[in-house]
Structure 1
C-alpha cells in the first residue's frame, strides 16, 4: 500500500467533512492536552505543543486513516516518574529515544508482536494507570496546599492524607461545577464537548466569584505563551542515552500498544484497515520531532480518535486540521488560559480515568478466579504500588509461564489399538490387560511438542516401552508444532527404541514438525521410509517386522491378522501375513 493510498479519491466533500471533524476534535483536545501535561508534572503549554506537533505528524505519517495523536492518560504516571527522577529536559530526550525505537519497531515489522500482549496484562496496567490518575487529581479537586508530587502511589496518598486539613471550599465548589457540567451536559447537548464547556463554566464562576481564592494555571505555572517555542535540541550524551534507555523503552512499548489499540478501535468503527508497522513509524517520527518544540511523548488517543470518526472524518486530513485548530487557539486565546482554575481541570482527568479504567472487564476477569485473574491482579497491583515497567515485565513473565503450563497440560500421550467396531480406528480404550500387542506399541500424541511439554512426551513413551517392542508407532497427526526440545526428546525415544533392536514409525505428521525434522536431519536417522501418511499403512508395514515365533500361541489378538499369525508356522505364517498385509 502506498503512503498516498489513504487520500485516494479525496474531494471537496471529503475535505468539508474533515474540517468539521477536525474542528470538533481540536476543541476537545485543548483541555485534555493541558490536563495531561499538568498531571505529568510539566507546564500546561507543553501539552498544547505536543498536540500540535505530534497530532499533525501522526495523522500525516501514521498507518491509520482516522488516528488522532497527542498526550494521553496512559503516559501520565510514566512521564511524572521520569520528570521527578530525571527532570524535564531528560524527559524530552527520553521521548526522542522512544521515537527512534518506535521507528525501528516499524521498520523491522514488529507491529503485530505488540498485539500479542495478553489482555489481562493490558487491562491490569490500564486500570492501574486510571487509579493513579484519579488519585493524582484529588489534591487539585480539594484545593490542598503545599502538595509535593512523589514517584510512588503510596507516598502520594500519604501526602494527600497529611494535607487534608488545608482543603479549600472554593476549589471544591469549582470542581463540582465542572464535574456536574461534564456529567449532565451530554444528556442535553450530546454533540458539544462537555469537558470544554465544564472548563469554561467553572473558569467563569471562579473568575467572577472566587477571584484570588483558587489556584489557577497562571498563579501556579505562569502565563501561557501565545506562540510555539523555538526549535531546541536537548543536550545529548552517550551517558544520558544509556541512562534513559529503560524509561524510553517503556514509553515506546506503551506508546506502540496504545496507538495500535486505538487504530484497532478505529478500524472497528469505520470499517477501514490500518497498517500497524506504518503506524509505529509515524508515531516514532512524531516523537522524534515533538521534543524539539518542547512537547512530551505522544501516542494514539482512543477517545479523540472515536470522536473524530463519529463526527464524520473522511481521511487523515481531519487529524491535521485538529492540530491546526489547537495552534490557532494557542495564538488567539492563550492569555485567557492562564485564568483556568486547577480545580476545574481535576474533574476532567478524573472522568478520563474513570472511562479508561475498563472496570467492567476488570471485575469480570477478576471474578472468574482463573489464572488470568492472577495475572490481572498482580499487574494491576504492581502498576499502582511500584511502576509500569515492573508491572508489565512481571505480568508478561507470569502470563508466559501460565501459557506454558496450559500448553503442557494440553499434551496427551495415549496408547491405543485398532477398534474393529469403528472401522479399525485406533482407540485408547482397546488397550487393556490381556489385549495389548507385545511387539507393536502404538501411541497417539496430541498437542504441541515445545520446550515446556516435550519432556512429558518423552517420559510418557520411554517409561512404557521397557518391554522392547519391535515397532513403536507414533501417531502425530494432532501435533501442530515442534521446537528444538521436541526434536531432542523425539531423538531420545528413537535412541531407546533402536538400542533394543526396534524401529520407530511415525504417521500423519503435519508440515511444521516434518520440516523441522528435515532441517535437523533426525528424519534420516528415523528412516525416510518410516514416515507414513496414514496409520493403516504404518500398521501394515509394522506387521512385516513381527517375530513369527513370538506370535505363535499369542492370545492378545490386538490386530485382525493376529488369529492367523498365532496359529500358523513357517512358510504358512509368512504367506498368510503377506496376504493379510495387502490392505
Structure 2
C-alpha cells in the first residue's frame, strides 16, 4: 500500500479544527445512521454501530484526508432486499465478504477501473435508488398500519394502496413538522444542524401533545441499547459463500463506486488528491470489521464528507472524532431515542432521496435521445422494478455495446489515388466520380483511420473488398491513424492478405505505429506480408507500387481508350 502522508504536519490548532468538524458531522450522522438502518430493515442501533466503527477505521486506513464513512442511502434497497430474502445474520456475512472483495480490489489496483463506469449507469441506478427510498417512507409518513415490506417495488406500492384506510393523521402532522423544520431552519439559522433539529422538534411535540398516538423507535424496536456493540464472529460456511457472493459483490461494487465518488468530490472541494486503491483498502477493512459488531455495510458518504470539509476539517482525525462523538452519544442518550417517532424519520429520508436523485442531470440525459439515454432509462427502470444487481449488469452491458458501436463508426477506410506531377508523386483523396474514373486500376491506395478492433474489423475488410472494382496489382494501406489493433483486427487483415496473395497481388503497409506492428509480428502476418512491404512513409509506398506497375509500359488504360497517368499530369 502507499505510504500514508495524511497525518503529516498536523498542529494542535489543526486538531482543534478537526475536533469541531468531527462533532458537527457526528450530529448530522446520528439521525442519518438510525434512519438508514431502519429503512434497510434492521434495528436503528446497527446504523449507529456502523457510523462509529466504519467512520473511525476508514479515517485511519483510507486514502482520503476528509472521507466520512458510514451507512448511506444508496445501500438501502440492496440491504433491505438481502434482509428480506436471506435474513439479518446473512446480511452480516454478505457485508464481511464485500469487505474482502474491496481489499482484493485494492491489492489488484482496481481503484482506477471503477472510475470508468459510465455516468449513464451511475445516474440511472442512483435515481432508481432515490425513488425506492422516497416511496419506502410513504408508509411511515402516513402512519399506515400492518404494512409488510416486500422485495419488489410494485408489491410495496400495492401494500401501501391496500392499507390507505389506516392513515394516522398524527403521523402525517409529525412528518409535516419535520419537513417544515428541514426547509425553514436553514434559511433562518444556516449553522444549526438541521437534520438533528428535524428529529428533535417533532419528537418533543409528539411526546408532549399526543403521546402514544404514533409509532416510535421504542414501540417498533424496543428502544436502543445503551451499551457498546458486542463482538460476534458470524458463522461462515462454504454454502453461505455460494449463496451470498452475488449480493456481496454488488455491495462491494456500489461501496467502491460511492467511496471513490465521494473522495473525488472531496478532492474538488479542497484541491487535495486521494489514493483510490488505499481508499478501497480502508473501506474493505471497515466492512470486514463492522459486521463482527453487528454493523451493516458502509461506504463513503458524499454529503457528510462535504459537511466535514465545510466545517473546517484538516486531517482524517475529524473522522475519528466523529465516530467517538457518536459512541459517547450512544452511551449517554440511547434511552431517549425510544421516543423518536418513525414519522419524523420519513421527511429526513425523503429529503436525502430527493438530493441524491440528480433529477436535473437525469432529465437532461433523457432529452439527449442518445444511446446514453437508453442506458440511463433501462438502468433506472431495472433498479426500481427488479433490483440493483440486474440494473448494473444490464446497464454496463448496454454501455459496452454502445461504446463498441461508436468505436466501429469512428473507423474510416478512404480510397485515395496517386497523382503524378512531373517527377514528384503525391496522394490525394478520390472524392468524385471523375477521380475514381481516372484512378489507376493497377494500384489502389486506402487510408485507414480509427481502432482496428473486433467491433470494426469486419467493416474494414468489407469496405476494402467492395471498393476494389477490378483486382489491382498492388494495394497500399496507409495506417498512420490506426491507434491499436486487436486479434480480430489482425485476423481480418490476414484474411484480406491471403485472398489478395492468391490472386497474385501484393499488399503494402505504410506508417503503422509500434503497437500495430507488434500485433502483426506476433500473429505471423509480418513474415507473410514480407518485411520489404512495410514502409515508414505513405508516399514511398505509393512510389514503389507505381514502379511495380510500370506506368510507362502499362497498356490497361490504352485498351480503354485513355491513359489515366497522362490525364493526371494534365489535371494538375
Shorter chain as normaliser: what TM range? over 0.9
Counterpart position of 2:506: 503
The answer to whether the 8 A contact 1:228-1:293 is kept is: no
Counterpart position of 1:65: 65
> Given the superposition, is the C-alpha separation of residues 226 and 216 from structure 1 closer, same or farther in structure 2, using an over 3 Å criterion?
same
TM superposition score normalised by structure 2: 0.95
* 1:436 CA displacement: 1.0
> Given the superposition, is the C-alpha separation of residues 495 and 191 from structure 1 closer, same or farther in structure 2, using an over 3 Å criterion?
same
Counterpart position of 1:550: 554
* 1:437 CA displacement: 0.7
- Residue 452 in structure 1 maps to residue 448 in structure 2: no
* 1:511 CA displacement: 2.8
* 1:342 CA displacement: 0.4
Counterpart position of 2:178: 178
Counterpart position of 1:574: none
Give the secondary-structure state (helix, strand or coil) at the position aligned to 1:424: strand
| Separation (CA, whole Å) in 2 of partners of 1:344 and 1:160 | 19
Counterpart position of 1:514: 517
> Given the superposition, is the C-alpha separation of residues 551 and 308 from structure 1 closer, same or farther in structure 2, using an over 3 Å criterion?
farther
The answer to whether the 8 A contact 2:420-2:568 is kept is: no
Which runs of structure 2 are paired with 1:213-292 in the superposition (5 Å)? 213-292=213-292
> Given the superposition, is the C-alpha separation of residues 501 and 89 from structure 1 closer, same or farther in structure 2, using an over 3 Å criterion?
same
> Given the superposition, is the C-alpha separation of residues 343 and 539 from structure 1 closer, same or farther in structure 2, using an over 3 Å criterion?
same
Counterpart position of 2:142: 142
- 1:185-218: per-residue Cα shift (whole Å, max 9, x none)? 1111212221111101111111111110011101
| Separation (CA, whole Å) in 2 of partners of 1:511 and 1:271 | 37
Which runs of structure 2 are paired with 1:376-415 in the superposition (5 Å)? 376-415=376-415
| Separation (CA, whole Å) in 2 of partners of 1:386 and 1:500 | 57
Residue number among 434, 439, 442 corresponding to 2:437 in the alignment: 434
- 1:46-102: per-residue Cα shift (whole Å, max 9, x none)? 000000011111111111111110000000000000000000000000000000011
Q: Larger deviation: 535-544 or 449-458?
A: 535-544
Counterpart position of 1:198: 198
TM superposition score normalised by structure 1: 0.94
> Given the superposition, is the C-alpha separation of residues 331 and 469 from structure 1 closer, same or farther in structure 2, using an over 3 Å criterion?
same
* 1:560 CA displacement: 8.0
| Separation (CA, whole Å) in 1 of partners of 2:391 and 2:417 | 50
Q: Larger deviation: 426-435 or 485-494?
A: 426-435
Ranges in structure 1 where 5+ consecutive residues have no aligned partner? 565-583
- Residue 210 in structure 1 maps to residue 214 in structure 2: no
The answer to whether the 8 A contact 1:182-1:195 is kept is: yes
Counterpart position of 2:543: 540
- Residue 480 in structure 1 maps to residue 483 in structure 2: yes
* 1:512 CA displacement: 2.1
Q: Larger deviation: 155-164 or 11-20?
A: 11-20
* 1:562 CA displacement: 7.1
Residue number among 432, 441, 446 corresponding to 1:443 in the alignment: 446
The answer to whether the 8 A contact 2:28-2:304 is kept is: yes
Aligned residues, how many? 564
> Given the superposition, is the C-alpha separation of residues 206 and 530 from structure 1 closer, same or farther in structure 2, using an over 3 Å criterion?
same
| Separation (CA, whole Å) in 1 of partners of 2:329 and 2:557 | 98
- Residue 526 in structure 1 maps to residue 513 in structure 2: no
Counterpart position of 1:490: 493
- Residue 293 in structure 1 maps to residue 296 in structure 2: no
